[in-house]
Chains A and B, each alone.
Chain A
């Protein structure tokens, strides 16, 4: 029997994800990867992994995992568990111990394991694309009884480490977007509505996208285009006028006009959106997107410099 992490309860939608699959969109394979890539990087930092090491992403409801190796060091990041498990602080579990994560306060929590999972990359990545059964653990979300194989069977002997705090969540701040690429397919009122009012994330929310409900975004012409390239964060608007924000398991190309696209620095925040969350959008110039990303990377570097032993 494989030794590793035995899944006793799988949670709602738990998959192995790294920072995404690159280079296969031209074959129709989406990037996938962590909904909140910043959280995955921080979890890896705390257990001493490279930032892009694959971890376990758990959407809304965490898994219950039993350790079946002699010892294992782990760290949680992203949406914090509502129980008393710490985030951004490593802990070492012994054989037989159970990590019960339970409900998490946000869209996605990440579990990094020291050394990483003993899984085979598919098309250069360990990210799971469940729709096509690619990558991760058997290409799918976890189920009770699965055993995630581990590269290390004993934790390293160093002290536990922690970060002082997560990056500021900035929940109430609007998501910054660059308008377009199909800006000319929408009326002026559509832009006023997009940038003026809030949109609620509906229950139709998964790793492919978030369907929003709010003021109708009116097209200036037909609500379809000949398919063109998609990107994570793109806000596409079908004929209903109710937008869908695309997430990492999106199609590589799509036939709905895209009114705006969320900037890279705000994708982690977007990825944490839960049904019921109200999203607001703010238009920025590409140069501002660049400054925002540089600032975010500086904040991550400053935080990483405060990694300390406990």
Chain B
């Protein structure tokens, strides 16, 4: 007897929903929200679409999100109806051997002026600030999607205690490199921008550099990320080393 296939978790759309985003993009939606199961399907479809895109010039690009994949086409070359048929006919197992996922270890100065929300989170959780930082550095995170800002990776795998809703009032300006949590995710602001996440600390690592060869966004979908705590002095030293070219983030932050 064959084992019965496991029933899909109730939160997944089965089959996935195909949503028309105009005449030049199609969203394949697996769920209404992120879940480990939805993320696994997103990863798998993205790998399959990579195979399709390599052979079909009408596919311009595809964008994995936390719960879906949006495929952009050149509508004068490929209709969405044909794209749907191609997706249906993709043989099982036709997946690109995805580029090796990279494991990163990002240095973070927790608290102080670099992490202005750390005291409040610590007092909410009844913990010391150091303990909250340890909770964050203990995590092993995965980049489920990149978007919103160039190079902003949504990192999953946050300890439930740090799964806070967004701040009631967003900040008009969050400094570049701020390490933050909200809605069950953690992430790093790649550039100074408005934002509503809780700021735990700040990394000196430039997360996005459009002219960095082959790696404009340091953290790509599928990569894994850990954080390690550093001193204010180390923060200052690394900040200038990365910016005046004495250190290369790609080699310096690759996890051993």
- A residues contacting B by CB (< 8 A) are 22-29, 122-123, 129, 132, 134-135, 177-182, 225-231, 233-234, 251-253, 258, 261-264, 286-287, 289-290, 293-294, 297
- A181-B19, A226-B66 provided; 13 other pairs, C-beta below 8 A? A26-B62, A28-B146, A28-B150, A29-B150, A225-B32, A226-B67, A228-B29, A229-B65, A251-B147, A261-B21, A263-B23, A287-B81, A290-B79
Q: Is the CB of A228 within 8 A of B67?
A: yes
Determine the distance from Cα of A180 to Cα of B149 in the docked complex, in whole angstroms. 24
Determine the distance from Cα of A60 to Cα of B220 in the docked complex, in whole angstroms. 38
- Stretch touching chain A among B68-76, B94-102, B114-122, B234-242: B68-76
Q: Is the CB of B23 within 8 A of A252?
A: no
- Residue B21 contacts which of A28, A132, A227, A229 (CB distance < 8 angstroms)? A229
CB nearest to B68 among chain A residues:
A228
Q: Is the CB of A26 within 8 A of B23?
A: no
Determine the distance from Cα of A293 to Cα of B80 in the docked complex, in whole angstroms. 14
Determine the distance from Cα of A285 to Cα of B60 in the docked complex, in whole angstroms. 22
When distances are taken between beta carbons in the complex, the residues of chain A under 8 Å from B61 are: 22-26
When distances are taken between beta carbons in the complex, the residues of chain A under 8 Å from B51 are: none
Q: Is the CB of B23 within 8 A of A290?
A: yes
Most buried by B among A226, A264, A293: A226
**A231-B24 CB under 8 A given contacts A253-B63, A286-B80:** yes
Most buried by B among A22, A23, A25, A179: A25
Can you spell out 27 A-B residue pairs with CB atoms less than 8 angstroms apart?
A: A22-B60, A22-B61, A23-B60, A23-B61, A24-B61, A27-B150, A28-B146, A28-B208, A29-B150, A122-B210, A123-B210, A132-B149, A132-B208, A178-B22, A179-B20, A181-B27, A229-B27, A229-B65, A229-B70, A252-B63, A253-B148, A261-B20, A264-B23, A264-B75, A286-B20, A286-B79, A290-B79
**A27-B216 CB under 8 A given contacts A181-B27, A290-B75:** yes
When distances are taken between beta carbons in the complex, the residues of chain A under 8 Å from B22 are: 177-178, 231, 233-234, 261-264, 289
Q: Is the CB of A178 within 8 A of B65?
A: no
Q: Is the CB of A25 within 8 A of B63?
A: yes
Determine the distance from Cα of A67 to Cα of B19 in the docked complex, in whole angstroms. 50
Q: Is the CB of B72 within 8 A of A231?
A: yes
When distances are taken between beta carbons in the complex, the residues of chain A under 8 Å from B67 are: 226, 228
**A26-B76 CB under 8 A given contacts A234-B21, A261-B21:** no
Interface status of B229 (Cβ within 8 A of chain A): no
Determine the distance from Cα of A287 to Cα of B64 in the docked complex, in whole angstroms. 26
The contact string, 1 if C-beta is below 8 Å from chain A, for chain B 135-156, is: 0000000000111111110000
Main secondary structure of the interface of B (DSSP, over half): loop
CB nearest to B81 among chain A residues:
A286
When distances are taken between beta carbons in the complex, the residues of chain B under 8 Å from A132 are: 149-150, 191, 208, 210
CB nearest to B221 among chain A residues:
A26
- B residues contacting A by CB (< 8 A) are 19-25, 27, 29, 32-34, 60-70, 72, 75-76, 79-81, 145-152, 191, 208, 210-211, 216-217, 220-221
When distances are taken between beta carbons in the complex, the residues of chain B under 8 Å from A253 are: 63, 65, 145, 147-148
CB nearest to B24 among chain A residues:
A264
- Residue A228 contacts which of B20, B23, B65 (CB distance < 8 angstroms)? B65
Determine the distance from Cα of A252 to Cα of B63 in the docked complex, in whole angstroms. 8
Q: Is the CB of A227 within 8 A of B148?
A: yes
When distances are taken between beta carbons in the complex, the residues of chain B under 8 Å from A258 are: 21
When distances are taken between beta carbons in the complex, the residues of chain B under 8 Å from A135 are: 210
When distances are taken between beta carbons in the complex, the residues of chain B under 8 Å from A229 are: 21, 25, 27, 63, 65, 68-70
Min Cβ gap B176→A in Å is: 11
CB nearest to B220 among chain A residues:
A27
CB nearest to A30 among chain B residues:
B150
Q: Is the CB of A27 within 8 A of B70?
A: no
Q: Is the CB of B66 within 8 A of A227?
A: yes
**A181-B146 CB under 8 A given contacts A22-B61, A26-B62:** no
CB nearest to B145 among chain A residues:
A253
Min Cβ gap A65→B in Å is: 27
When distances are taken between beta carbons in the complex, the residues of chain A under 8 Å from B79 are: 286, 290
Determine the distance from Cα of A90 to Cα of B252 in the docked complex, in whole angstroms. 53
